[in-house]
């Protein structure tokens, strides 16, 4: 066989092998997901965020065809979880369970993670803040409450001072040009509801599930919902936006990944989590905690909500000296 023929055949063989190798590498590089997901939370086992996360994972494992494990990083009102998250490889296989608490911590600049470092995937719960009154009080509608707040310092019951209920109240009064209420902090939503019925405060800042029994009994009447729309179980409660005050704040839980995650990987994550959370298993969980299908939202709506929460809270927290 001539030398040039041998060289030509050898060259063709090398090209074919190289092309095959490159093709295999490209396919391998495009595979996603390719390993177990870490889902980072700031909550201990059994907490609301932990339970929501685990309920999301039940079907997401099937949709994404990879296992998922919870990594609990407690401390610093979410700062420990965010600091751990931001130090992990940005390969799309680490997901952060993001809540209103994380938004507050970001607004306070108490973590090395910034909002620009994250990319929204999907929202899992949306539980609006609600201003509620004792049904025997003089306040029967949201407009009556707003009118009363123009020139009177009412007493608002919240869970803890400086938390989301307190911040919510401040933002509402500030944006509405109303008198800031006197904050009466309690240890939890259940106690706020109890003290509202007892007459210790004028208004309670609560989520629907925290006062569902008293609402059903006719003891507590929801007046203003700080959500984008009225809520089915309490249709008479107007939204703050309907009353001319642009405030939308909820106890939210959702999921984010890294800002640098490629579009195709983020879309895979969003599609998987959305399909999982629209399944009857997760929807049953939402019903059990007093929520409905509107809690589940995709990346665009979830991202807009995150940005608005932080934009509203940052100046409020500064004004409050927090």
Residue 6 in any domain: the answer is no
CA gap 237, 224 in Å, rounded: 5
Same domain, 256 and 231: no
Place of tokens 């989301």: 164
Using alpha carbons, select from 169, 154, 156, 146 the residue that is nearest to residue 223. Answer: 146
**pLDDT recorded at residue 7:** 40
Instruction: Supply the range of the domain harboring residue 111.
Output: 37-126+251-320
| Cβ atoms of 56 and 276 closer than 8 Å | yes
Instruction: For residue 9, tell me if it sits in a domain.
Output: no
Domain count within the chain: 2
Each residue's pLDDT expressed in tens, for the chain with a length of 322 residues? 544 544 445 444 444 444 444 443 343 445 899 999 999 999 888 888 999 999 999 999 999 999 999 999 998 889 999 999 999 999 999 999 999 999 999 999 999 999 999 999 999 999 999 999 999 999 999 999 999 999 999 999 999 888 899 999 999 999 999 999 999 999 999 999 999 999 999 999 999 988 999 999 999 999 999 999 999 889 999 999 999 999 999 999 999 999 999 999 999 999 999 999 999 999 999 998 888 999 999 999 999 999 999 999 999 999 999 8
Claim to verify: residue 135 and residue 234 sit in the same structural domain? yes
Give the whole-angstrom CA distance, residue 232 versus residue 18. 62
- State both tokens at 113: 């993670």
Detail the DSSP E strand segments found in 181-219. 182-186, 203-206
Question: Which pLDDT value is given to residue 17?
Answer: 42
- The CATH number of whichever domain residue 219 belongs to comes to 3.40.190.10
Residue 29 in tokens? 């590089």
Q: Is residue 300 part of a domain?
A: yes
139 to each of 52, 134, 181, 227, 291, how far by Cα in Å?
Answer: 35, 8, 15, 20, 26
Residue 33, preceding bond cis, omega within 30 degrees? Answer: yes
């Amino acid at each position: 066989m001539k030398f040039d023929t041998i060289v030509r055949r050898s060259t063709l063989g090398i090209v074919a092998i190289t092309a095959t190798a490159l093709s295999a590498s490209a396919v391998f590089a495009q595979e996603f997901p390719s390993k177990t997901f870490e889902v980072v939370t700031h909550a201990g086992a059994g907490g609301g965020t932990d339970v929501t996360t685990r309920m999301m994972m039940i079907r997401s494992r099937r949709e994404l065809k990879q296992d998922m494990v919870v990594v609990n990083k407690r401390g610093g009102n979410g700062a420990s979880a965010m600091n751990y998250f931001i130090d992990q490889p940005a390969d799309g296989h680490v997901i952060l369970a993001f809540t209103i608490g994380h938004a507050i911590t970001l607004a306070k600049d108490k973590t090395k993670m910034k909002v620009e470092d994250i990319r929204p995937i999907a929202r899992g719960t949306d539980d609006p803040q609600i201003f509620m009154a004792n049904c025997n009080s003089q306040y029967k509608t949201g407009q009556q409450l707003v009118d009363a707040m123009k020139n009177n310092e009412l007493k608002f019951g919240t869970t803890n001072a400086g938390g989301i209920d307190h911040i919510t109240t401040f933002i509402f009064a500030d944006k509405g040009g109303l008198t800031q209420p006197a904050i009466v902090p309690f240890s939890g939503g259940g106690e706020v509801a109890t003290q509202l019925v007892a007459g210790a405060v004028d208004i309670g800042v609560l989520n629907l599930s925290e006062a569902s029994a008293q609402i059903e009994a006719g003891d507590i009447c929801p007046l203003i919902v700080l959500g984008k729309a009225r809520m089915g179980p309490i249709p008479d409660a107007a939204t703050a936006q309907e009353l001319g005050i642009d405030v939308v704040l909820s106890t939210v839980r959702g999921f984010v990944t890294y800002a640098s995650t490629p579009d195709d990987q983020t879309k895979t994550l969003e599609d998987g989590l959305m399909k999982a959370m629209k399944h009857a298993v997760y929807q049953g969980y939402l019903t059990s905690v007093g929520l409905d299908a509107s809690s589940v939202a995709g990346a665009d709506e979830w991202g807009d909500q995150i940005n608005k929460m932080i934009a509203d809270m940052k100046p409020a927290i500064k004004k409050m000296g927090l």
